[in-house]
Chains A and B, each alone.
Chain A
Amino acid sequence: SFCCFSVLSPELKTTLDKVVTSHKVVLFMKGTKDFPQCGFSHTVVQILKSLNVPFETINILENELLRQGLKEYSSWPTFPQLYIDGEFFGGCDITVDAYESGELQELLEKAMCS
């Protein structure tokens, strides 16, 4: 690619490293956990609530730099983005799939005990 423009500065990367490890489960979403502003974000919030795990949400609609930086940080083009134990887990479809197969519950249990 001939495009070299990047918003993910070393400073922003360091900040994101801290944010994603600040809690076991971090969800970057459109809106807040009480007022999701997109169906995909709503779905992931509902799944996490139903599993009774504590999770932190961050509203990417309020910070354009964060929104663009995260896309590069995770190499993932859309939101929501779910992080478990400091690691990018996936977007809405992956979370739904893992929830239905039981893989998500397993991973969250492991993360909570670690």
Chain B
Amino acid sequence: MGVTKEQVESSLTSKLSPSHLEVIDTSGGCGASFAVEIVSTKFEGKRLLERHRLVNAALENEMKEIHALSIKKAQTPDQWKQQQESDNSKPAA
């Protein structure tokens, strides 16, 4: 059966209350592999390893069935905002 994208989203939403969340099913539909981008205030003051641990812990039940999880981004709202601004300013030059 595997895990659905919605299950991954709902676990991450309830445990990390993200201000931005993107879950991409990279399995081609079988639900075994996901890529995640997440922005949350819970990441503040934490190193990347600790941030990834929080994401892994939030998906503890799902991880038993997920074969591959790629955490593309685990940022604080401030980092996210800065990145959005610098991305937007680039093409304008």
Contact = CB atoms under 8 A, between A and B. Distances in A.
Interface of A: 40, 75-78, 88-94, 97-98
Nearest to A98: B48
Contacts of A94: 48-49, 52
Interface of B: 48-49, 52-53, 56, 63, 68-72
24 contacts: A40-B68, A40-B70, A75-B53, A76-B53, A76-B56, A77-B63, A78-B56, A78-B68, A78-B69, A88-B49, A89-B49, A90-B48, A90-B49, A90-B52, A91-B52, A93-B52, A93-B70, A93-B71, A93-B72, A94-B48, A94-B49, A94-B52, A97-B48, A98-B48
Contacts, number: 27
Q: Name the 7 nearest CB pairs between A and B, nearest first.
A: A77-B63, A93-B71, A90-B49, A77-B56, A94-B48, A93-B70, A94-B49
